[in-house]
Amino acid sequence: MDATTPHLLSLHVGLPRELGTPGATEPLERPWTSGIFKQPVDGPVWLSRTGLAGDGQADVKVHGGPEKAVLAYAEAHYAFWRERLERPDVGPGAFGENFVLSGGAEDSACIGDVLRVGGARVQVSQPRQPCWKPARRWGRKELSLLLQQTGRTGWYLRVLEEGPVRQGDVLELLERPFPAFTVAFANHAMHGHAPDAAAALAECPLLTPGWRDSLRRRAQGTRGDDRPRLVGPNSAD
């Protein structure tokens, strides 16, 4: 395998856990339940329509499911976060991701991309919209907003063909129907006060329905409040 070929550096799975300290006065230390803590697995691991075997989410209304079966993240981002957060332990699996990729990032993955990985076939479905749990995981109230603002969000994959995957599998690009709609462009359309970009991306049939609906509202000048998603119970306000 050529050293420059994008491949799976590692796979990570984990089930929801109860965390925190009952009665804590600091919001970041209060009880919470999350599947954000992922552990590396060698594989082969079966990738189904709803995700990797052994993986799970605490809040299935906003995480997981067929449209967000796998969370992919670029290994190249971890150095930035180690420096920004002054945490040398930030590394693969730090933000609840399942696939850690050796190559590519938000500016090179496109909505609708179809990729062969191991015995499975997957498709880029939407960027990740960070919730308050990465901030709780690392004890930094501003982290979820920083993930969004920097565009280092990662992206979700839907599974078109189930099959086994394992560390080292190459990601082979099979189709790219929308080369202009990178994940970076999608983040800009959603969060960058860009009504024209939002209107254009809202017409992409391979973007998840929820994102298309939100982009239509943004194109019309209507924006929701991101604070409940980004801050949630991490603030005492």
Return the residue matching tokens 């329509």. Answer: 49
Whether 18 shows a pLDDT value over 50: the answer reads yes
Question: Is there a domain that residue 1 lies in?
Answer: no
Handedness of CA 131, 29, 23, 31 (dihedral sign): positive
Whether 190 shows a pLDDT value over 90: the answer reads yes
Q: What's the pLDDT score for residue 223?
A: 81
Question: Is there a domain that residue 112 lies in?
Answer: yes
Percent pLDDT > 90 in the chain is 88
Whether 3 shows a pLDDT value over 60: the answer reads no
Q: What's the pLDDT score for residue 237?
A: 60
Whether 4 shows a pLDDT value over 80: the answer reads no
pLDDT of 191-229, one tens digit each?
998 999 999 999 999 999 999 999 999 999 888 788 899
Question: Is there a domain that residue 220 lies in?
Answer: yes
Question: Is there a domain that residue 36 lies in?
Answer: yes
| Angstrom distance (rounded) from CA 161 to CA 177 | 18
Whether 1 shows a pLDDT value over 60: the answer reads no
Return the residue matching tokens 């040398």. Answer: 88
Q: What's the pLDDT score for residue 189?
A: 97
Whether 40 shows a pLDDT value over 50: the answer reads yes
Domain count, the chain: 1
Question: Is there a domain that residue 85 lies in?
Answer: yes
List the structure tokens of 10: 């590692």
pLDDT of 133-151, one tens digit each?
999 999 999 999 999 999 9
Using DSSP's 3-state secondary structure scheme, residue 124 falls into strand
What are the backbone dihedrals phi and psi of residue 40, each rounded to the nearest 5 degrees, phi first?
-70, 145
Whether 230 shows a pLDDT value over 60: the answer reads yes
- Mean pLDDT for the stretch of residues 81-99: 97
For the stretch 183-220, what's the b/e string if a residue is b when 16 or more beta carbons lie within 10 angstroms of its beta carbon?
bbbbbbbbbeebeebbebbbebebbbeebbebbeebbe
Closest CA to 185 of 237, 113, 133: 113
Q: What's the pLDDT score for residue 222?
A: 86
Whether 14 shows a pLDDT value over 50: the answer reads yes
User: Which amino acid, 193?
Assistant: H
CATH of the domain at 198: 2.40.33.20
User: Domain range holding 27?
Assistant: 8-234
Average pLDDT, the chain: 94
List the structure tokens of 127: 């960027």
Question: Is there a domain that residue 3 lies in?
Answer: no
- Residue 42: beta bridge partners? none
Whether 188 shows a pLDDT value over 50: the answer reads yes
- Mean pLDDT for the stretch of residues 29-53: 95
Whether 98 shows a pLDDT value over 80: the answer reads yes
Question: Is there a domain that residue 2 lies in?
Answer: no
